[in-house]
Amino acid sequence: MDRRTYLATGVAAALAGCSELGGPGEPETNEERTDGADGPTENASDEPSDGADDEDYPDLVGTFDDFENLEEWWEWQDIGTLEADSTRSSGGSQSALLTSSPEDRGQVRVRRELEEPIDVREVAPGLDLATDTDAGVVRIQLQDENAHYVEYSQRFEGNMPLTRHNFGITRIRGEPDLSEVIVLQVIRWFGDDAEGRQWVDDFHFVPRPTGGKVMVQFHGGYESHYREALELVEEYDVPATAFVPTGRVREDDAVDGDRLTREQVDELAAADWTIGAQPANGQLLDQVDSDALEDAIVEPIDWLAEAGYDDGARFFAYPGSRYTEESYELVRDNYELGFAGRSRSQGYAGNPHLCSTTETPGPGEATDLLDWTVEWGGITTIPFYRLDDPETLEALEETLSGIDERRSADELEVITPAEMAENYVYE
């Protein structure tokens, strides 16, 4: 099938995502997000992707602070510096630039105290991010009057323009009253005695599922996904997704390798697995030559469509959660969802092309991960890679059995990428 014809069907039509990080050196004047969005305005609220009315969502959903006025923000405990940067923004006239120096212990913290408390029980915060380091983690803390807080975080890549990111709940301190949040705090740690710059813009909220949602994914197209996971997935009746580097699929067992054969991919699909895309060559996207990048990202669409996996051809997973500006834009232009990051219990996807995944759990860790999702809600996507050692298989079975137990108790819902694209995207 011709790629343009395929895209015209709408199956792989892109949702307008938001671009990400800022590279080193002087940024261009009035840099825009590469999602083509018009940029934030005070209390703006975009139309949700599923066509629902805005009144179906909490009042906080949309832009909360566009950093056009920094008077209400300050450097907490004088750690790092905060200033406006009019040369880079998500659509307004400026962004907030957070800078750390060695005397700041490699970190910067800025906060805003609200005149009136806000209720964040049904929303999740997010930011547009850019940095001059290779990668980083930004944390958002929402505090009550007793300084108890819920912390959201996300890992992101560097050397990109400002990009919207989906944050997930990764830490709780005390017993925060989420109906009475009075302090917003943004933290970036660059490392001991490290220097760095972090741009932030468009502090916004997206809806957050109050009930826990989970996805189980298998990345890399390894034969062990068929040999070890298929039977377990069927036993616990958990929907699964295999993200496959289509150029590495073996035609038959006669070809040496540890990747899936075409027949095995067909059997996974016949068992109701979603078959999604990874780069055709299976490489990390920051290691693919620029002249080969488009083929690596786009060719899997045709392969999957011709194999009859049109639904899965809408979804892409970044190997190692690594990407570049060019590769991110290609994913955004050709897929409905992309999966990367390192966080759990995220809210609705404010950027559908950087939906978060967790780290693969080890034995004993899956139970805590699932219980966390039950308690705090949101969407947790759990990826597995090679399944060639006993500990990984133990963790996989613990994950599947734990999901089955909590699903039976109506504590968790298992969703697919298609269900996330239809129901849990807010732009």
Query: For 91-127, how does the pLDDT look when each residue is reduced to its tens digit (9 = 90+)?
Result: 999 999 999 987 888 899 999 999 999 999 999 999 9
Q: What is the pLDDT of residue 193?
A: 78
Cα 116 to Cα 114: distance, rounded to the nearest angstrom: 5
Ramachandran quadrant class, 420 (left: phi over 0; alpha: psi -120 to 50; beta: rest): alpha
Is pLDDT at 36 greater than 80 in this prediction?
no
In percent, the amount of the chain with pLDDT more than 70 equals 87
User: What phi and psi, each to the nearest 5 degrees, are found at residue 106?
Assistant: 70, 25
Higher per-residue pLDDT: 203 or 256: 203
Q: What is the pLDDT of residue 102?
A: 79
Are the C-beta atoms of 50 and 425 separated by less than 8 Å? yes
- Residues in the chain, overall count: 427
pTM of the model: 0.86
Q: Which residue has the tokens 């997206």?
A: 206
Angstrom distances, CA of residue 205 to CA of 30, 47, 93, 166, 351: 24, 13, 21, 10, 12
Is pLDDT at 25 greater than 50 in this prediction?
no
Task: Please state the rounded mean pLDDT for residues 181-195.
Answer: 92
Average pLDDT, the chain: 88
Q: Which residue has the tokens 């005397």?
A: 103
Q: What is the pLDDT of residue 54?
A: 53
Q: What is the pLDDT of residue 55?
A: 52
Helices 365-376 + 390-408 axis angle, to 10: 30
Longest C-alpha distance within the chain, in Å? 69
Task: Please state the rounded mean pLDDT for residues 396-414.
Answer: 98
Angle at 164 between CA 196 and CA 109, to 5 degrees: 40
Cα 126 to Cα 206: distance, rounded to the nearest angstrom: 7
Q: What is the pLDDT of residue 12?
A: 34
Is pLDDT at 34 greater than 80 in this prediction?
no
Higher per-residue pLDDT: 276 or 4: 276
Is pLDDT at 48 greater than 90 in this prediction?
no
Task: Please state the rounded mean pLDDT for residues 413-424.
Answer: 98
